[in-house]
A = this chain, B = another copy of it.
């Protein structure tokens, strides 16, 4: 779950009377409020960015007084890290399924569709992640140079194997992954542009399906894997 730093709100009691006292059962009220706050924070960070977000706005959106937010998360930075942690958990879960198997088309298609589903189901998470990278990815550098980099290397190895066996055109696997990430996340991150250009008020379920179809078609044929 917690990829870089622990989500402090869940391990740190309000203000521990004694040095270390493990929370007994981490009360249900706490759990519920923390979740409401994280949801609200994700939405506000997605829309306004870290600098533009205010703890007051987050608390308001969560339906709690600002002081209550600061009871669970001591600082704005802390709730931001907790939001990022939750997002990385989501991302990692989506990465795992695609591993070995000698069917490039199936693996690539499944991965692309999973990523687009993520864009549709968690657009705000995607936007917070995008903003974090735009800001230099300081908070998630550990994840990027650790888990993610290893995942990319493994996946690249796999693809190079496919290429050697003639199952796939010679194409730079790393750049292929960058393109797939970009093409799938754009449906969450650049939603406003897509809506403006297409004249739709919102992307429908069919729009996402058509997007996935297009990306799958483009990538599979583009790197010459048989369906």
Contact = CB atoms under 8 A, between A and B. Distances in A.
Nearest to A186: B182
Nearest to A151: B197
A19 interface: no
Contact of A196 (B135, B141, B176, B199): B141
Copies in the complex: 2
Contacts of A1: none
A94 to B, nearest CB: 16
Contacts of A192: 133-134, 136-137, 144
A16 interface: no
B197 A148 contact: yes
Contact-residue size bin, chain A (C-beta under 8 Å from the other chain): 35 or more
A220 B219 CA distance: 10
B136 A134 contact: no
A30 to B, nearest CB: 29
A197 B149 contact: yes
A193 B142 CA distance: 11
Contact of A199 (B133, B149, B211, B224): B149
A10 interface: no
Contacts of A47: 135-136
Contacts of A218: 171, 176, 179, 218-219, 222-223
A137 B179 CA distance: 23
A159 to B, nearest CB: 12
A31 interface: no
Interface string A22-60: 000000000000000000000000111111110000000
A174 interface: yes
A95 B124 CA distance: 30
Interface string A174-189: 1110110111011101
9 residue pairs, one from A and one from B, having the closest CB atoms = A51-B52, A222-B222, A144-B196, A182-B186, A218-B222, A49-B49, A175-B214, A137-B192, A182-B182
